[in-house]
A and B are shown apart, each in its own frame.
Chain A
């Protein structure tokens, strides 16, 4: 693995189907010891050895940070994706030995907040599972608003309501229930911090409304891991390592670099942390920037690329690495 990430040898201790799309996985340390401490919002990168292919996907830890005997993640099956979630659903069984990274937190609670207002969409609920456990353990003030398509896809909604009662509010798309966002945001006491995790559209909507209603930037936290998108294959020359590599349709640029023995830094593999940023030396073609890290100006300039999620279409591309 890479910069800032050390690996843990784990064994899958349980696999629990949660609903038609989501399965939960439990990991324990192979040597039986305790796992490293983490804080609510942290994720681990799970290595999936699928034949001669290795996939590395980030998943939020959803167990209580107060219990480090095991880590739990929940994986939503994505039939149109590149196969990571399908691998987890189909191949991963109790007893399988796997390698995961140490936890990294790019979505931590700001504990100076007087109140924590959480907004989750769909599988975006997972980091909040850990955050609410952490806050409940410490007597923290929080409120969770959770939107899901249908009641049966309201993953862990029942658990959360049972644990926290009216502090959890549910909204079901199929019943036409919608968050009255402006009212919700305008009625929060001073000192509230906002956390949002869910689909990109939801995150953008919430950030946008919060900003125009006067929420300072520092009080709005969000997490969205863009899964690497498949796309047309392309070739890249890596100037420093002197290699020319091929990025397959289902492969990310980062994965192709790793397969060629180059070891670029990364933390999130989802276009949010900034670790994998790479300079473009020359290019003739079009960038497909899928990251949330670079500024719009960076995107336009074509001088930088985030290899974990971004792609390229065109004649030639030379990167620094």
Chain B
């Protein structure tokens, strides 16, 4: 679990089955394992009312394990962007009693939560579990461009090319960490780039 440094830095828990009739899971890659681990604690029949949306990623693992849970629906998506319209649709039509479970990378959790907040779900009522890569979704505070899968510190903004210090300051609205120019005073100063959000 990621350490809590400043207040806006999200902290994640361990998925646990909530009361209710409808359960929506969104997971990527290793996030599938958070769901299968949770299944051991779920009451009988829990997955009869569950929908799992899964982004397996390049390794395409864990699909069979999710199928074995026999959810009411299992939807495999190539990327978060491709599942977003469907997710928005589901949330628009959903009723109170739908519970949301997000598992996997921070980028996935953050973006799915962003859609959920827009639909009126309070972030405290969403079950989250971080699994797999710690790669960050980062917003450059200068050009506002978003760079996905940032693993280094500092990191290069893929839009304006500035060298950014990736802060723990997180925006729930943007589902992104803030990146701030690290050498604004003197561009010739280039600190070593280390891989730290693996």
Counting chain B residues whose Cβ lies within 8 A of the other chain, the interface size class is 10 to 19
Q: Which residue of B lies closest to A113 (CB)?
A: B120
Q: Does B19 lie within 8 Å of A211, measured CB to CB? A: yes
Q: Does B124 lie within 8 Å of A214, measured CB to CB? A: no
**Which residues of chain B are within 8 angstroms of A186 by Cβ–Cβ distance?**
21, 95-97
> Which of A47-55, A150-158, A188-196 forms contacts with chain B?
A188-196
Q: Which of B119-139 contact A (CB under 8 A)?
A: 119-122, 124-125
Q: Does B120 lie within 8 Å of A192, measured CB to CB? A: yes
28 A-B pairs in the complex with CB atoms less than 8 angstroms apart: A112-B120, A113-B120, A185-B96, A186-B21, A186-B95, A186-B97, A188-B96, A189-B120, A190-B92, A190-B95, A190-B119, A190-B120, A191-B119, A191-B120, A191-B121, A192-B96, A212-B19, A213-B20, A213-B96, A213-B97, A214-B21, A214-B96, A214-B97, A214-B99, A215-B20, A216-B122, A216-B125, A218-B122
**Which residues of chain B are within 8 angstroms of A113 by Cβ–Cβ distance?**
120
Chain A nearest Cβ from B94, distance in angstroms: 5
Q: Does A214 lie within 8 Å of B120, measured CB to CB? A: no
Interface centre among B94, B122, B124 (most CB of A within 10 A): B122
**Which residues of chain A are within 8 angstroms of B91 by Cβ–Cβ distance?**
190
**Which residues of chain B are within 8 angstroms of A217 by Cβ–Cβ distance?**
125
Extra inter-chain contacts (13) besides given A190-B91, A216-B122, CB under 8 Å = A113-B120, A186-B95, A187-B95, A190-B92, A191-B121, A211-B19, A212-B19, A213-B20, A213-B97, A214-B19, A215-B20, A215-B96, A216-B125
> How distant is the Cα of A211 from the Cα of B125 in the complex, in angstroms?
12
> How distant is the Cα of A192 from the Cα of B122 in the complex, in angstroms?
10
B165 contacts A by Cβ under 8 Å: no
A23 contacts B by Cβ under 8 Å: no
**Chain A, 197-220, contact with B by CB distance < 8 Å: what is the 0/1 string?**
000000000000001111111110
**Chain B, 20-33, contact with A by CB distance < 8 Å: what is the 0/1 string?**
11100000000000
> How distant is the Cα of A113 from the Cα of B120 in the complex, in angstroms?
6
Q: Does A190 lie within 8 Å of B96, measured CB to CB? A: yes
A114 contacts B by Cβ under 8 Å: yes
Lowest 5 CB-CB distances: which A-B pairs, in order?
A191-B120, A214-B20, A216-B125, A214-B97, A114-B120
**Chain B, 94-122, contact with A by CB distance < 8 Å: what is the 0/1 string?**
11111100000000000000000001111
Chain A nearest Cβ from B21, distance in angstroms: 6
Chain A nearest Cβ from B128, distance in angstroms: 14
Counting chain A residues whose Cβ lies within 8 A of the other chain, the interface size class is 20 to 34
B14 contacts A by Cβ under 8 Å: no
Q: Which residue of A lies closest to B90 (CB)?
A: A190
B18 contacts A by Cβ under 8 Å: yes
**Which residues of chain B are within 8 angstroms of A114 by Cβ–Cβ distance?**
120
Chain B nearest Cβ from A65, distance in angstroms: 23
**Chain B, 34-66, contact with A by CB distance < 8 Å: what is the 0/1 string?**
000000000000000000000000000000000
Interface centre among B20, B94, B120 (most CB of A within 10 A): B120
> How distant is the Cα of A65 from the Cα of B20 in the complex, in angstroms?
36
Chain B nearest Cβ from A297, distance in angstroms: 21
> How distant is the Cα of A190 from the Cα of B125 in the complex, in angstroms?
12
> How distant is the Cα of A189 from the Cα of B91 in the complex, in angstroms?
9
Q: Does A190 lie within 8 Å of B19, measured CB to CB? A: no
Chain A nearest Cβ from B176, distance in angstroms: 21
> How distant is the Cα of A185 from the Cα of B97 in the complex, in angstroms?
8
Chain A nearest Cβ from B83, distance in angstroms: 18
> How distant is the Cα of A88 from the Cα of B136 in the complex, in angstroms?
62
Chain A nearest Cβ from B18, distance in angstroms: 6
**Which residues of chain A are within 8 angstroms of B21 by Cβ–Cβ distance?**
186, 213-214
**Which residues of chain A are within 8 angstroms of B120 by Cβ–Cβ distance?**
112-114, 189-192
